[in-house]
Structure 1
């Protein structure tokens, strides 16, 4: 992938790929896919990048709403990450969700794209109330591995490394990565793709002491606060048949150039018409 020939990168998915947790809707979202595009641009002056992801989308919706658009852009590289929203629904079928992902793997690789995806960490290791979905995550990850192998898809095994449960990698809602988490996801996918400059350093512990885990009444208080602030509103939307992505469209639906420029704290966007750190 390195070089001066044009490289078309298209990201498909839901809120994680859109970038929730890395910026916000006022200053703009960055996210791991944006960060990966920036890394690609360091080694290829002709990178053009589109991000079709929309928050709240189920795997089926990602396929129905984003795959045709992605194929029309004829990507050299595509990332497909979806399924977490399915995991959290009352009805979940691992075969059905994995089938949607595999259909996207098949279509993109058949057109000649290099495709990458990832496995999901056990959310119960991040929040105890997520224990009921642990078996679902394990089942989906198993099927993602199988589908990725069948289609030659690069797989970032984020599920298998203890660092992914470090609370510093997660935003307060415990569902989306923090800026540091998005940085680690980008590094994991870059490593799976064997990009220049990538290595397994993303699997190593975060520097500095890990935040202490609350115990006793503090744990209960934290869980109740999380339910009231994040889980409750999420369940309310589900009961009303609503989604956080209602009325939203892709933040970067067209292929646009990606440039990195020196900036305090890292690279920032400097694309045509783009504000720094947003797209």
Structure 2
């Protein structure tokens, strides 16, 4: 990652990883079939950021894994606006057909602004997705995205309501990860989450700097899992 000379800001970003660093962290990675499901965050949407690459976090992770496993099969089913229930009903069948040995799941942007907000239902849907994937013998990675309320143009009352929901969803995702022995990466607690340029003009959508940092964090989480350390909930 971050090797092109044109990507000067990315190369110097302390929250990014170089190609060599990523390869070191992923040494011995066994995964040969990597699949990503979720919403627009999963599919790599984001605003350009000067000095950073144009690939979303999942594409970056796949590229790093492919350096370890050159024959890596990679499929991204992320779609804008997908609810957790829609991910299960529309994507899980294709997921199981693909037979991934590593699946990454990130979503819930739509749930955050949806009324009524039902965290119990979201957690149940996550259980219904993660359980069969773990039962099939594959690893599952749950990614909790950056806190979109930090630079929100919304009213203070609405921002606080979303912040409470974000915290609850993060707790539910972590609970699912712990229950099923999945890997959990919480970007909401990343130090870069306080940087304005991680988010686009609307304060919610990520920039490509956000994607670069997310990819680095995911690779670090996978590396910790491989060595039996860190935030792997196993």
TM-score (norm 1): 0.64
1:96: Cα distance to partner? Answer: 0.7
1:200-229 deviation line (CA, Å, top 9, x unaligned): xxxxxxxxxxxxxxxxxxxxxxxxxxxxxx
CA contact (8 A) 1:2 1:44 kept: no
Matched residue, 1:69: 94
Name which of 184, 202, 215 aligns with 2:213: 184
| Runs of 4+ more than 3 Å apart | 1-6
Tell me, yes or no, if the aligned pair for 1:13 and 1:54 is still in contact at 8 Å: yes
- Structure 2 stretches lacking a partner, 5+ long: 1-25, 49-53, 228-234
- RMSD over equivalenced CA pairs, Å: 2.4
For the pair shown, the structure with the greater C-alpha radius of gyration is 1
Partner of 1:20: 45
- C-alpha deviation, 1:157, in angstroms: 1.7
Matched, 1:165 2:165: no
- How many Å apart are 1:43 and its aligned residue? 1.5
Give the drift of 1:175: 2.1
Q: What does residue 111 of structure 1 align with?
A: 136
SS across alignment from 1:124: coil
Q: Is the aligned partner of 1:81 residue 2:106?
A: yes
In structure 1, the residue matched to 2:56 is 31
1:102 CA displacement: 1.8
1:119-155 Cα distance to aligned partner (Å, 9 max, x none): 2333222215233211111111111111101111111
Distance 2:29 2:105 in 1: 25
Residue in structure 2 matching 1:155, options 173, 180, 184: 184
Q: Give the corresponding residue for 1:134.
A: 163
2:73 to 48, 66, 76: 48
Aligned to 1:9: 34
Whether contact under 8 Å (1:80, 1:104) holds in the other structure is no
- Alignment partner, residue 230 of structure 2: none
CA contact (8 A) 2:152 2:202 kept: no
Which structure 1 segments of 5+ residues have no match?
24-28, 199-279
CA distance in 2, matches of 1:4, 1:125: 35
Q: How does 1:200-239 map to 2 (within 5 A)?
A: none
Which of the numbers 124, 127, 141 marks the counterpart of 1:102? 127
Equivalent pairs counted in the alignment come to 193
